[in-house]
Structure 1
Amino acid sequence: IEVIVHGTTVATNAILTGRIARTGLITTYGFRDALEMRRGIRERLYDNKYTPPPPLVPRYLRLGVRERVDAAGSVVEPLDEDHLREAVAELRDEDVESVAVCFLHAYRNPAHEAQAAEVIAAEWPEAHVSLSHAVLSERRFYERISTTAINAAVGPILATYLRHLLAELGGRGFDGALRVMKSNGGLMSPEVAAAREAAHTLLSGPAGAVAGGTAFSRMQGNSNLIVMDMGGTSCDVCLIEEGTSLVTREGSVARYRLMLPMLDIHTVGAGGGSIARVDEAGLLEVGPASAGSHPGPACYRRGGEFATVTDADVVLGYISPDYFLGGRMALDGELARQAVRAQVAEALGTSDLEAAAGVYDVINAKMAAAIREVSVQRGYDPRRFTLLVAGGAGAVHVCPIARDIGIRRVMVPRDASVFSAFGMLTTDYRHDFVRTYEATLAVADPDTIRAAFDEMCAEGEELLGAEGVASAEMSHVLKMDLRYHGQIHEVEMPVEPAAFDEPGMPSIHQKFHERHEEIYSYATEADPVEVVNLRVTSIGHAWTTEPRTEPLGDADASEAFKGNRSTYFRDSGVVEVPVYDGTAVLPGMRIDGPCIVELPDTNVVVDTYFDLSCDSYGHFLLEARD
């Protein structure tokens, strides 16, 4: 084994459970409460009892020191090193493990933060230090101080975990490279993750499926995909346009503000273990509570008593109790039926089948709404996209979801249940950098812009070089954050260096107007356009993973036929549906719906509106009938 790529939830779990490192904060004198004051806006506007979560750094560990840099980056008051040493000594006496340093306007001039780092290293060399200009070098003080605090809070936890993991792997004879998945869909070395980018792993877990979707878009020659990854507890949805996954920079984890590049993934509590119940008003609800894998759905025979989505799928005939996990785990169909009857059917006054179909419909509606969230709500027409289904449970539910939102083409990877792992093996090293530069685009200084981009590219190349990436395998994507004068939020847009040579940069103006109209349905071309931030994504090509292809054979799939099974569909009731062995469905074979294709780790349920075929990679393509 040469490389192990690791997606981890260590940092996420630390924040969610509150089991973080004991963290201190050093900031500009008079601004220590910015972390607790947040934006001063209630998350729920009309709920005055909805209090924010406790700050990651308690007030007595948030210390201000005398220094001041103005918004232009000029030093107003030098850093008082004696005052800083007092703060460092106080935090050390409080057994603090990690220190976040965030000074006002450090994104403009990081000299005081760099000076503070030197003092802390001299006085307290064992402390883990996070500097805001290294974590997030852009304006918006609350977002910067919150992100830096998160990085400091999880840094020692992740560093310890990775150190133990490397030791364990070494003890078992592994002498290759370990790489860590980032929230932006890229890779980094464990040294970079532990030293400076711990917060970049907070959404590491679901990023693999998105990376796999990007690779699929190249393999299939289809650059527009919507990825739906349905597991046991949740469903993650994201959109890939022109072969590139969408990235957001405004998110939160456990309601703590995080402003780092992360894949724009929308998650809903919809999985195979989602629990179904009838509420006090007599309405059927499914999720977000989950039975998990222990005890799991009632049909698992592990003592689970709740009716779940998996139980409903068994009752409807979509999952065979005798072929779950390829027959390695037998399910109890009668326990599934009893759970659905006791907790759903009797409360609604319907039959077991109707109740199970209701559970199926509700969970499908939740996932369809999630797809609309990442497409329609962002200005994209989902009908232009192919729906890529990952996760063990997704292919059981995909046909009605696709019909609901008007998608006519669905892809199901043969190894859908481990699609995230596949994605991790197809991604590259990726590091993001940002510099705040504020000017009207028409009068912006091209030389200053080029210098900032060159500086960030050089920083990226240095980081990639330390991770073992050759210069020939490095590339950079240049972007600008633009907005109309007076707006609060920006639109991120890729730019070409040649555009800086144009007087007034008219091509960037035009692309911004077009993108703004695409997102917000209007453009005001008479208004001046402002530059807010300059960004660089440095990419290091890690390796090439080329899945094998097979020539397309005969369309006849009769050799894969296993028999018929009674299955319930909403529009046709109980029908006898042909079941096929998915391991025997070969490239070129075609099967008309309705049918069920069974694999050891997933089932593809094709309703009467779709037909199935197997492509040269061995993956399944579902296409809507005319």
Structure 2
Amino acid sequence: MQGGWQVGIDTGGTFTDLVAVRGDEQRIAKVPSTPAAFDQGVLDSITAAGIEVPDIEMIAHGTTVATNAVITQRGAATALLTTRGFRDVLELRRHNRGDPYDIQWDPPPPLVTRRNRFEITERLDYAGDVVIPLDAEQVRAAARLAARRGIGTFAIAFLHSYVNPVHEDEAAEIVRSEVPGAFVSTSGSLLREPPEFERTSTAVLNAYLAPVVSDYLTALESRLREAGFVGRLYVMHSGGGLLTVESASRFPARLLTSGPAAGAKAAEGVAASTGVAGGVVAAGVLASSEGLEEVISLDIGGTSADIAVVQGGRADIVHEFSPRFGQPARFPAIDLVTIGAGGGSIAWVDAGHLPHVGPQSAGADPGPAAYLLGGTDATVTDANLVAGRLVADVGLAGGISLDTDAAHRAVESFADQLGLSVADAALGIIDITNNNMARSIRVVTVERGLDPRNFTLVPFGGAGPLMAAELADVLGIRRIVVPLAPGVTSGLGCLYVDITHDIGEALISELTDADRARLQEVFDRLAATMRQRLTDDGVAAERQRLEYSIDLRYLGQVRALTVELETGTVPERFTEEYREMFFEEYERQFHSVAVDIGVEISALRVRGVRRSERPHIPFSGSTAPLHTVERPVLTRDGEVTARVAERGRLHVGSRLSGPLVLTQEDSTTWVPPHWEVEVDKLGNLQMARSE
């Protein structure tokens, strides 16, 4: 008997993507997002896929709700309780600037206004011993004043609480007693590491997002239950794993790059499974299935482009990320670069008469001019339609049709400002967008000692395959793999993700002086915490898996490298083994190593995992004859005659040469004259430059 549907849903700023799998059956849907109520877009995607809600067994959901709340500053009014003397740590940040060359540049305001940041008399020393007891009356007074101001969300960040959380825990209890129903986020429970700014920022972000994320997930789950859903709802987090609704509501700051992370993990899978994969998760899975080790994941949607690097079949992980300048969250996250370069990115001319594309976007509402939904500005989508790379009589997902005349008028208006022809303006918009993305790709490759020419580009999202080949030309990349359903690949990536929790604890010691018993005690305690969190999420003990790592750095450094360990048992010769592993990782990342400098431990980490059962999606291809039509397409070498064909009519082994436009419901692939394309056994398009 067939089980229920396994559904992956990724909500972006412009579209909501769905991939559903049940046995060998697959459904996909792509519908416009509904920013006013994102849960409606989720339900719309299920309806568009023709799936009955009671037949769904599991939903894995990537969402931009947390990201949008921070960027638009629409999180909850939050109060911060902090050690006396540290009221302005959110203002001071790291004493750096977002733009060092702009003397008029101002940083974004802190998420907590100064009047709602309360100093509390208390003090612990570096070892966690009490120097000054907590003034409970000051905590009560602060909680009452915040409540009178209509605040029900609190962040508490005291100095050295990562060693001993006693004062934070006591203050949290007082706040909850004074303000019943308040959400309280304590820094020591989130981050057991010393930097007070990063710890404070993480606690503030977690509190700021809690009501927004909790309300959204509660509303979504409630509407699904009302429709007959009896399965489990999971939420994608920034580190490339899944959380239950309950865990996501406790740790909402973990969702800040929820959607883009799904794409990166799918890219991992293009690099060991035998099925199709789907965002950075999806690109990773695709890389795995294709036997690729080095992949650049490129997710171009309607609003932005998300870029990640997959090396050795795995997406790179960082332990800190910032949704806005000076607002870091210290949680493990897939290393992503996001820029405002999507199908809806708006072309504009500045006061110096120079053209730009993005970061402003027409989004889902009003959308590009070609959508005829009220947009009048020229966008990347309009430019591609004018250039002939998008086909007007092929409808887009979500029932959207394209109007060439409207696109032409929008691009013409942009061209008139620059004294250009419409054709040159359209190509210019495309070129600027490609160069913006190339610049960002160089940041995560060239500036880290990596040569992008040695990587395979995995483009997806609605606009990814449309832009990929000419972007590859800019970077010198010679191989591209386009997934079977690129427009919904991030949704598919959600189905390739495990339930994961992460925890770390500072343990600062020179490696040669470290005590083996102390290291083992910390690893064992963190492991017990991870097992409890997985158990709380309903994961049976036999399905729980723990992964261990250690943060190491040269003596005198502030930043550390995370080195993965095979086991949580500290070996007898750990000094020599950990030191050698650090040197190997340092050389891999920086292409040099100094073996005569001492090494220091900064933190121990444990990740708790429940592996997902990854669906297999077979591809048989079409047996119908391939029908093509010809149309003119604009290129930098002049107008060319390109063939237009439906991708769904290709079969395994189909091989075609550019110029070629391949259409499908969720995306369009542009194959320039100097590129060839072949369909592999998984249904992916293998694109290569002609010699």
Q: TM-score, normalised by structure 2?
A: 0.85
Letter in 2 for 1:33: D
CA contact 2:317–2:334 (8 Å) conserved in 1: yes
Is 1:372 the counterpart of 2:442 in the alignment? yes
Residue aligning to 1:487: 557
Greater mean deviation of Cα atoms: 64-73 or 262-271: 64-73
TM-superposed deviation, 1:326: 7.3
Tell me if the contact between 1:179 and 1:187 (Cα under 8 Å) persists in the aligned partners: yes
Q: Does structure 1 conserve the Cα–Cα contact (< 8 Å) formed by 2:390 and 2:668?
A: yes
Matches within 5 A, 1:500-511: 500-503=570-573, 505-511=575-581
Q: Tell me if 1:227 matches 2:281.
A: no
- Aligned-pair distance for 1:429? 0.8
TM superposition shift of 1:462: 0.9
**Shift in Å, 1:247:** 1.7
Question: Residue deviations 1:169-196, cap 9 Å, x none?
Answer: 11111111111111111110111121x2
Offset at residue 318 of structure 1 (A)? 0.7
User: What is the alpha-carbon distance in structure 2 between the residues aligned to residue 10 and residue 296 of structure 1?
Assistant: 20
Cα deviation, 1:23-72, whole Å, max 9, x if unaligned, reads 22222233223233323333333544433333322333322333221112
- Residues 1:542 and 2:596 are matched in the alignment: no
Is 168-177 or 283-292 further displaced after alignment?
283-292
Does the alignment pair 1:134 with 2:224? no
AA partner of residue 563 (structure 1): V
Do the aligned partners of 1:411 and 1:620 also contact (CA within 8 Å) in 2?
A: yes
Q: Residues 47 and 565 (structure 1 numbering): CA distance in 2 closer, same or farther, change over 3 Å?
A: closer
Bigger mean CA offset, 136-145 vs 323-332: 323-332
Q: Which string of whole-angstrom CA distances, capped at 9 and with x for unpartnered residues, describes residues 286-307 of structure 1? A: 2222222333323223343222
Alignment partner, residue 416 of structure 1: 486
User: TM-score under structure 1 normalisation?
Assistant: 0.93
- TM-aligned CA distance change 1:66 to 1:327, over 3 Å: closer
Counterpart check, 1:274 vs 2:345? yes
- 2:509 paired with 1:454: no
| Alignment pair present for 1:471 and 2:541 | yes
Show the counterpart of 1:314.
385
Letter in 2 for 1:392: G
Aligned: 1:618 with 2:683: yes
Instruction: Please name the residue that 2:427 is paired with.
Output: 357
Q: Counterpart in 2 of 1:564?
A: 630
Provide the identity percentage.
38
Q: Pick the aligned partner of 2:413 from 333, 342, 355.
A: 342
The CA deviation string for residues 354-394 of structure 1, in whole angstroms up to 9 with x for no partner, is 32222221111111222212222223222332211111111
Shift of 1:584: 0.7
Structure 1 distance, partners of 2:587, 2:100, is 29
Cα distance in 2 for partners of 1:264, 1:76 equals: 39
Please tell me whether the aligned partners of residues 520 and 569 of structure 2 are also in contact (alpha carbons under 8 angstroms). no
Which whole-Å CA distance do the structure 2 matches of 1:379 and 1:272 have between them? 30
Query: Which is worse superposed, 229-238 or 202-211?
Result: 202-211
Report Cα offsets for 1:187-221 as digits up to 9, x if no partner.
Answer: 10111121x20111121122221111222223222
Instruction: Find the residue that maps to 1:120 and give its secondary structure.
Output: helix
- For 2:419 and 2:144, how far apart are their aligned partners in 1? 68
Superposition pairs for residues 180-329 of structure 1, below 5 Å? 180-194=235-249, 196-208=250-262, 209-255=279-325, 256-325=327-396, 328-329=399-400
Name the amino acid aligned to 2:577.
Answer: S
CA contact (8 A) 1:389 1:398 kept: yes
2:431 and 2:307 map into 1 onto residues whose CA distance is 18
Distance 1:130 1:617 in 2: 46
- Quickly say closer, same or farther: Cα 1:302–1:161, change in 2 above 3 A: closer
- How well do the aligned residues superpose, as a CA RMSD in angstroms? 2.3
CA distance in 2, matches of 1:502, 1:224: 35
Q: Distance in 2 between matches of 1:45 and 1:499?
A: 46
Closer, same or farther: CA 278–124 of 1 in aligned 2, 3 Å:
closer
Does the aligned pair in 2 maintain the 1:553–1:588 contact within 8 Å?
A: no
Partner of 2:19: none
Are residues 1:61 and 2:132 paired?
no
2:354 maps to amino acid: L
Distance 1:162 1:282, change over 3 A: closer
User: Deviation at 1:280?
Assistant: 4.2
Separation in 2, partners of 1:377, 1:124: 49
Residues 605 and 36 (structure 1 numbering): CA distance in 2 closer, same or farther, change over 3 Å? Answer: same
State the distance in 1 between where 2:372 and 2:214 align: 39
Where 2:523 maps in the other structure, the secondary structure is helix
Letter of the structure 2 residue corresponding to residue 170 of structure 1:
R
Sort the Cα spacing of 1:466 and 1:140 in 2 relative to 1 into closer, same or farther, 3 A: same
Matching residue of 2:26: none
Rounded to whole Å, the distance in 1 between the matches of 2:142 and 2:510 is 41
Q: Does 1:32 align with 2:72?
A: no
- Determine the C-alpha separation between the residues in 1 that align with 2:178 and 2:348: 58
Q: In the TM superposition, what is the alpha-carbon distance from 1:594 to its structure 2 partner?
A: 2.4
Q: Secondary structure at the match of 2:111?
A: coil
Measure the CA separation in 2 of the matches of 1:83 and 1:333: 65
Does the 8 A contact of 1:340 with 1:352 survive in 2? yes
Q: Do the aligned partners of 2:282 and 2:496 also contact (CA within 8 Å) in 1?
A: yes
Extract unaligned runs of 5+ from structure 2: 1-55, 263-278
Partner residue, 1:383? 453
Residue-by-residue CA offset, 1:292-340 (whole Å, 9 max, x unaligned): 2333323223343222211221122111111132795442223323332
- CA distance, structure 1, for counterparts of residue 429 and residue 360 of structure 2: 14
1:326–1:233 distance in 2 versus 1, CA, 3 Å: closer
CA distance in 1, matches of 2:119, 2:679: 63
Q: 1:5 aligns with which of 42, 53, 60?
A: 60
| Equivalence for 1:331 | 402
- What secondary structure sits across from 1:492 in the alignment? strand
Q: In 1, Cα distance between the equivalents of 2:110 and 2:485? A: 42
- What secondary structure does 1:563 align onto? strand
Unaligned ranges ≥5, structure 1:
none
User: In the alignment, is the contact (CA less than 8 A) between 2:191 and 2:505 conserved in 1?
Assistant: no
Shift of the 337–57 alpha-carbon distance from structure 1 to 2, 3 Å rule, reads closer
Matching residue's letter, 1:3: M
Equivalent residue letter for 1:107: Y
Q: 1:487 and 1:351, CA in 2 relative to 1: closer, same or farther beyond 3 A? A: same
Aligned match of 1:167: 222
Deviation per CA, 1:194-251: give whole Å up to 9, x if none: 1x20111121122221111222223222232211011112111111112221122332
Partner of 1:178, secondary structure, is strand
- State how many pairs are aligned: 619
- What is the CA distance between 1:427 and its match in structure 2? 0.4
Structure 2 CA distance for aligned equivalents of residues 494 and 63 of structure 1 = 40
DSSP-derived class of the 1:173 partner? coil
* C-alpha spacing 1:375/1:81, structure 2 compared with 1 (3 Å): same
Going from structure 1 to structure 2, the CA distance change for 1:538 and 1:282 (only over 3 Å counts) comes to: same
Q: Which residue identity does 1:207 align to in structure 2?
A: A
Q: Per the alignment, in what secondary structure is the counterpart of residue 322 of structure 2?
A: strand
1:566 maps to amino acid: P
Contact persistence 2:302–2:463 (CA under 8 A): yes
Cα deviation for residue 503 of structure 1 reads 3.1
